[in-house]
Amino acid sequence: MGNRKSLFIALALISPNILSAEFIVKFRNQVNEDLLTSRSLGTEVKSVRSLKTSVGNFAVIDAKLDAVQMNSISRSSGEIEYIEPNYTNYKLFAEPADPSYSRQWGLNGRHGVQAEDAWSITKGSKDFVVAVVDTGVDYNHPDLKDNMWTNDLEKMGQPGVDDDGNGIIDDIYGYNPISENGDPMDGQGHGTHCAGVIGAVHNDIGVAGVMAEAKIMAIKIFDDRGRTTAEAIVKGIDYAVKAGVKIMSNSWGGPQHSQAIEDAIKAADDAGILFVAAAGNGNFLGFGQNNDKKPVYPANYELDNIVSIGAIKSSGRKAMMSNYGKTTVDLFAPGVSVYSTYIGGGYRSLTGTSMAAPHVSGVAGLIASLDPTMTAVEIKERLLNSVSSSNKLMSKSIAGGTLNAFESVR
Ligand SMILES: [Ca+2]
Ligand SMILES: [Ca+2]
Ligand SMILES: [Ca+2]
């Protein structure tokens, strides 16, 4: 009786009125196809095929049956042990259960990064740190907190005391050089969005990050109104270098060449840290510019560890607003209508090379998870040599294509 009840529930979930579908019939002994004809069952049966297995003999029928009919069939013949739908609602576990995953075309779309195939090889690692150098991160976000880096000496230490002696009091999740304190909470949203692209937790809420396993450090170089200084940027990068991060994700920039910022990034280069930088979003009219002619920094600094990222839309073409450059933009990544985490525990869709860069940072993290001793230059070579080539992007980037997570880790 209990079984029958659960069968009804299962059917009701598929459809209240099954019109035509496949059913699996388990026979107690041999399959009796005569029992499975339209005349015997009193309903149209389109096809019957036998299925012999070591656990018994089955037939698969294509028929029009509702729950009541199915139930009466299983009761009417002593030869039939049970009948149930030929269920199809199973999925590869590489596909995350996060309810908004279907919206993440950058991961699962035709021109996305082939994330699921990559995840069958690696889902990331907590053995190294990815720094989001941005507006901070909502480190309490339920879809991020388990993938946040924490400074355990401060976390277990005393409030108001610089427990690890690094000069910053209570820097548990990162650093805030804008306010010169240890709290990088995001009050703007941009950094939280980028963090989610890299490493939103794979769970039953929200979105999935490129890295399922990650350690994200928040470096808040912009205040909540989006303002910064070269001083704050240098201090933020310096903190991340000293903390020994592996990758820095930078979704910001401007036309101003700062020697101090370049020197800070050079120190990251010397430490083997990959510096992912958005190529920029073009002019005030919304058209991308050629970075070969009009440099954008930090993307355009001529340092080996910098990888400059343009944005594509879901068709695989360059986003209208995205900057480009045959010799200055390395590769393209998803950057239009990117759905990710937002401040206040929320989610939002945003567009820009800002969203493309963290896709690359996440894939760089997948690469590094294969071999944490890999240098920045080695990771960068992998990224560039693994792109999905595109004729339209040949003249617009060094690699001539878009980010491919699977090709990067296979
Ligand atoms: Ca400290
Ligand atoms: Ca403390
Ligand atoms: Ca999630």
Mean predicted confidence (pLDDT) in 328-356: 97
**Nearest listed ligand to the Cα of residue 196:** 3
- Ligand 2 center from residue 73 Cα (angstroms): 69
Could you read off the pLDDT of 191-221 as tens digits, one per residue? 999 999 999 999 999 999 999 999 999 999 9
pLDDT tier at 69, thresholds 50, 70, 90:
confident
pLDDT at residue 87, rounded to an integer? 82
- Ligand 1 center from residue 219 Cα (angstroms): 14
pLDDT tier at 372, thresholds 50, 70, 90:
confident
Q: What pTM was estimated for this model as a whole? A: 0.79
- Check if the beta carbon of residue 306 is closer than 8 Å to that of residue 268: no
**Nearest listed ligand to the Cα of residue 208:** 3
- Ligand 1 center from residue 163 Cα (angstroms): 6
- Check if the beta carbon of residue 323 is closer than 8 Å to that of residue 329: yes
pLDDT for 153 beyond 50 = yes
Residues 6+ apart with CB under 8 A from 27: 56, 57, 58, 59, 79, 80, 81
Domains of the chain (ranges plus CATH)? 2-85 (3.30.70), 101-409 (3.40.50.200)
Q: Report the sign of the C-alpha dihedral through residues 224, 331, 405, 306, in that order.
A: negative
- Check if the beta carbon of residue 206 is closer than 8 Å to that of residue 98: yes
Could you read off the pLDDT of 277-334 as tens digits, one per residue? 999 998 767 789 999 999 999 999 999 999 999 999 999 999 999 999 999 999 999 9
Neighbours of ion ligand 1 (CB under 5 A): 162, 164, 166, 168, 171
- For 389, the enclosing helix (H) or strand (E) is strand 388-389
Q: How far apart are CA 299 and CA 326, in angstroms?
A: 13
What is the share, in percent, of the chain residues with pLDDT greater than 90? 80
Could you read off the pLDDT of 2-53 as tens digits, one per residue? 444 444 444 434 444 555 688 999 999 999 998 898 888 888 899 999 988 8
Active site residues: 134, 190, 354
Could you read off the pLDDT of 162-185 as tens digits, one per residue? 999 999 999 999 999 999 999 999
pLDDT at residue 94, rounded to an integer? 56
pLDDT for 228 beyond 90 = yes
- Ligand 3 center from residue 190 Cα (angstroms): 18
pLDDT at residue 18, rounded to an integer? 52
Structure-token pair, residue 315: 């068709």
pLDDT at residue 326, rounded to an integer? 98
**Nearest listed ligand to the Cα of residue 160:** 2
Phi, psi of 340 (to 5 degrees): -155, -175
Could you read off the pLDDT of 103-113 as tens digits, one per residue? 999 999 999 99
Mean predicted confidence (pLDDT) in 344-365: 97
**Nearest listed ligand to the Cα of residue 161:** 2
Q: How far apart are CA 406 and CA 57, in angstroms?
A: 40
- Ligand 3 center from residue 371 Cα (angstroms): 25
Q: How far apart are CA 77 and CA 345, in angstroms?
A: 56
- Ligand 1 center from residue 345 Cα (angstroms): 26
What is the share, in percent, of the chain residues with pLDDT greater than 70? 93
Could you count the other beta carbons within 10 Å of the beta carbon of residue 118?
Answer: 26
Closest among 128, 310, 125 to 210, alpha carbons compared:
125
- Ligand 2 center from residue 169 Cα (angstroms): 5
What's the distance, Cα to Cα, between the start and end of the chain in Å? 50
- Ligand 3 center from residue 206 Cα (angstroms): 4
pLDDT at residue 16, rounded to an integer? 44
CA distances from 73 to 26, 27, 40, 45, 279 (A): 12, 12, 10, 13, 65
Closest among 132, 265, 258 to 188, alpha carbons compared:
132
pLDDT tier at 93, thresholds 50, 70, 90:
low
